[in-house]
Amino acid sequence: MSEPSVLWETWGEHEAILLKPPRSPRRVPPPVPRTAVLFPRREGFYTELGGFLPEVRLRFETYGRLSRRRDNAFLVFHALTGSAHLAGHYSDEVFARLSPLEQAFGREGWWDALVGPGRVLDPALHYVISANHLGSCYGSTGPTSLDPRTGRPYGKDFPPLTIRDLARAQARLLDHLGVEQATVIGGSLGGMVALEFALMYPERVRKLIVLAAPPVHGPWARAFNRLSREAILKDPGFAEGGYERQPEGLKLARAIAMLSYRAPASFQKRWADDPAQGESYVVYQGEKFARRFDANTYLVLSQAMDTHDVGRGRGGVEAALARLKGIRSLFVGIDSDLLYTKEEVREMARLAGGRYQEIQSPHGHDAFLIETDQVERILDSFL
């Protein structure tokens, strides 16, 4: 694989090393994020684990228009620390109105290379929707949001969530937008939400695309999540969730997680001549992350990931995945993914009766964000 000539860091999910071409006129127009009240106070939102939210809002962005036949919608789910900002570059006016955390996330969308004129997600052909997950900190209802009952941020009192809660909130967004069916796409945590969405609302899914996500959040992945949470919880600055500024433990949590998002070959490729730079890199990523994310949010969403099991209450994983055979589906593994291995993704595709394709990359789990040329070819061949 030839080495692209331009590389830089992005504020996007996992701080991926994006190897991207220069900006071009093929970008989408500057997007304008919107917020929808999907579960108003007269209704509220009861979580799967018994919690209650008096109101649920989701921040979202759309690209393109819904066709008259209402058959061109794509719903894209982001990963753990992503946002609704899928593509485009915020204007100065829009950027100035964003929250400090949204501003710290950055002006550029996290999958910008895939959305635009002539791209696989072309707004001239498709109505592309991307919403910030319930429980996140980029405009949707989450721990940093004000509890309407108290007027104060939920903080540590935000109720625990499951992946199915996240899928249910996204389904209500489709109702709000007048979309009956959509092609659903997600990677990592977003892939888990896509799986649950398809199992909960099969009649609403035209096609299903899952990248770098498992049917069950297994012991290896849960161990990384547990270590990251312990780094936060054991930091005195966390103050049992009542911190006034982001605790130092959030930096360490991110540094730990970064090791699961990459692979040894990626570090060797970049720092073989100066191995100490690999250490500095993960520390640096933790420091950047603490400027753009929230510790209570990290706890809520990482714990939601640990609830992920498509077989729960459905007779087991094999029985659950068999329900997807009526949906045209694509499952994308990554040859160097240490977090959710290519073998488990391939087996999931087999059980679901879907197509399996693979990203070839030294960069590990983050490759679905890094290798955008490969991702576009794979998606284009399926769509």
CATH number assigned to the domain comprising residue 137: 3.40.50.1820
Domain that holds residue 238: 5-381
What band does 27 get if pLDDT is binned at 50, 70 and 90? confident
Catalytic, out of 83, 337, 361, 363: 337
Give kind and range of the element (H or E) at residue 330.
Answer: strand 328-334
Q: 152 a known binding residue? A: no
Q: How many domains are there within the chain?
A: 1
**337 tagged catalytic:** yes
- pLDDT single digits (tens) 74-102: 999 999 999 999 999 999 999 999 999 99
Residue 37 · residue 57 · CB < 8 Å? yes
Residue 334 · residue 364 · CB < 8 Å? yes
**14 tagged catalytic:** no
* Cα separation, 118 vs 110, whole angstroms: 18
HSE at residue 259, side-chain half, CA atoms within 13 A, is: 15
* Cα separation, 134 vs 300, whole angstroms: 10
- pLDDT single digits (tens) 303-321: 999 999 999 999 999 999 9
Best CA proximity match to 365, nearest among 243, 292, 262, 296: 262
Position 370 pLDDT exceeds 50: yes
Out of 64-73, 157-166, 264-273, least confident range: 264-273
pLDDT at 271: 93
**365 tagged catalytic:** yes
Q: 41 a known binding residue? A: no
What band does 25 get if pLDDT is binned at 50, 70 and 90? low
The alpha helices in 262-310, defined as continuous H runs, are: 264-271, 276-289, 295-306
**Residues whose CB falls within 8 Å of the CB of residue 178, separated by 6 or more in sequence, listed in order:** 66, 70
Catalytic, out of 83, 136, 188, 329: 188
